[in-house]
A and B are shown apart, each in its own frame.
Chain A
């Protein structure tokens, strides 16, 4: 279980999160919706442990552990996964090298034997096929020259391979056309399981047609201002965020 309590965070000296409360149980998919600048991405980075995001108050308890006390790689090893809104391009590092290093780092952390080249290849072939990814995408440098859709598929592939307990999907729909969105959503849905929690961060309701959440929360001005079931997303789609003191019409 993940419990976020009264979370406050600063970026560049500016208060962005101002008391976020959220509890996510195993198997649940929560959506966080909100206008631009509400603090959605900040929340995802704070949970993943990015430098420069300073928590000033509150706590995040992750299966009984103080998540905020862990380094990013320790969080990942404990099962936290952030699917980036903007996956980073890393010239010179082959996608396969990256994936293999990541998988084996995780396995090592869990006290499992590292995969050899053959075992790794077998695993990766299986997963890429399901996501409609080519072998060529594996040979290329991480995200370099990838289209928006390919980058998001690559994120989904990493998630499928690393099998997190808690996946945070940050604006996974941004930059995707409807076909790419469907493929990515299918990949994500295939990973839904009673042990795996997800936090889907999105500006638009569209994504939630494909990844249907159990709970929807509205984040505005750094706080969760409303929570409800999946119907809340439809309501937001119709009325926008103006009920929450935000006018996006401009």
Chain B
């Protein structure tokens, strides 16, 4: 019997009450209270989390990422009083002066006055989940909680328990949206107490549609925050969805994220995550090729320094024949930073002619930097092409000397080599404006160090 279920071994229910206690007070005020299926979904999440608590390192998929620090902090769910921050400039991949569709969430709550949905073509719906409960109950009910299952993921259960808001995007069949749709998540928190929030993203790209979604995750202030994201992405038959994300929260932020995608026949789900920020981050991406001839690209770059911890955990599930998957991750780790890469590819018995490729390369810039890498292939079909490569190395001394011998100072030379190293991952970004914008973030990171 094949299963993608993660064992809940290593569960620690004793950590649950602290997180769930505020729920009793909060519950009646959550949006969509009239929807019975939503009440059920929340209740199931609450029950599940109460039973298992936060994952511990005894759980195989959490072996290298310890959430112990979360239990030492008394997180308070964000309320209306939080996140009243003002912004002059919000991050964007657009060139200066250009505007376009954008939803902004501060501490998980939709901020209409910062958002814009005017320029969208017909057939595209972009709104907040809290509003969608009222106006798009059926659409939401059909999709929400179908991909990200609370049974095997305690953090998804926690997210469901607090389910309140987040972005909803629906692109109708055959509609192509040229301009990127931007989702901005701001972790603001409060100086008084650690703040938590649980945004839920829903993207439905119907048959033959095409869209580009860019997520920006930023932080402001000095408060400790916990963002526990869950995204569910439905890519319809022959649809193409580009899903980009740049995470650069502050050094006092915890960023946890689970993205679950399903790709129908001839569809393509293209995910790229650039991780620069947060004290601790985990990006879990699951892409299921549920139809024949489906494709998925799941790539990214992680840049870790100071005492940051960044975890990338991917699962590519080839469930049908003729699927193609490609993963290219590049990481740069400095100081006492630690990165984790866990990449699993499953090829189901019927998924013949699967073509799967996975690469993770890490560059260690200090003696105390650490990478834990675990590639896993689980192949149950016989006519498949699957490869994976995993390396960790240091900067090439010969190349460094060559550059310095041409008058380039050591820091600039290192920057050139690190930038070149990451280049292989950055090239995976198919959309040029996004690539340029993300490249600028990488350059900024390199500059900061100097």
Interface residues of A (CB under 8 A from B): 48-51, 71-73, 75-77, 81-82, 84, 87-93, 97-98, 101-102, 105-106, 109, 141, 158, 162
Asked if B149 CB lies within 8 Å of chain A CBs, one says no
- B408, B409, B419: which contacts A92 (Cβ < 8 A)? B419
Pull 10 A–B residue pairs with CB atoms less than 8 Å apart, ordered by A.
A73-B408, A73-B413, A75-B405, A88-B399, A90-B416, A90-B417, A92-B421, A93-B417, A98-B403, A162-B407
Q: Which of A102, A141, A158 has the most CB of B within 10 A?
A: A102
Distance, CA A162 to CA B408, complexed state (A): 12
Asked if B402 CB lies within 8 Å of chain A CBs, one says yes
Q: Smallest CB-CB separation from B406: which chain A residue?
A: A102
Distance, CA A48 to CA B398, complexed state (A): 13
- B403, B405, B417: which contacts A49 (Cβ < 8 A)? B405
- B401, B417, B420: which contacts A50 (Cβ < 8 A)? B401
Distance, CA A158 to CA B402, complexed state (A): 12
Q: Smallest CB-CB separation from B398: which chain A residue?
A: A88
Pairwise interchain contact A105-B417, C-beta atoms closer than 8 A: no
Pairwise interchain contact B406-A76, C-beta atoms closer than 8 A: yes
Asked if B410 CB lies within 8 Å of chain A CBs, one says yes
Q: Which of B405, B407, B409, B419 has the most CB of A within 10 A?
A: B407
Interface string of B132-151 (1 = CB under 8 A from A): 00000000000000000000
Given A90-B420, A105-B412, A158-B404 contact (CB < 8 Å): no
Distance, CA A90 to CA B397, complexed state (A): 11
Minimum distance in angstroms from B313 CB to a CB of chain A: 26
CB neighbours (8 Å) of B123 from chain A are none
Asked if B423 CB lies within 8 Å of chain A CBs, one says yes
- A50, A87, A88, A102: which contacts B407 (Cβ < 8 A)? A102
Distance, CA A249 to CA B282, complexed state (A): 64
Asked if B47 CB lies within 8 Å of chain A CBs, one says no
Distance, CA A71 to CA B416, complexed state (A): 18
- B405, B420, B423: which contacts A72 (Cβ < 8 A)? B405
Asked if B284 CB lies within 8 Å of chain A CBs, one says no
Interface string of B415-429 (1 = CB under 8 A from A): 011011101100000
Pairwise interchain contact A158-B421, C-beta atoms closer than 8 A: no
CB neighbours (8 Å) of A81 from chain B are 405
Beyond the given A75-B405, A162-B406, please list 16 additional residue pairs across the A-B interface where CB-CB is below 8 A. A73-B405, A76-B407, A84-B402, A88-B398, A88-B401, A88-B402, A90-B403, A90-B417, A92-B421, A92-B424, A93-B419, A98-B406, A101-B408, A109-B407, A158-B406, A162-B407
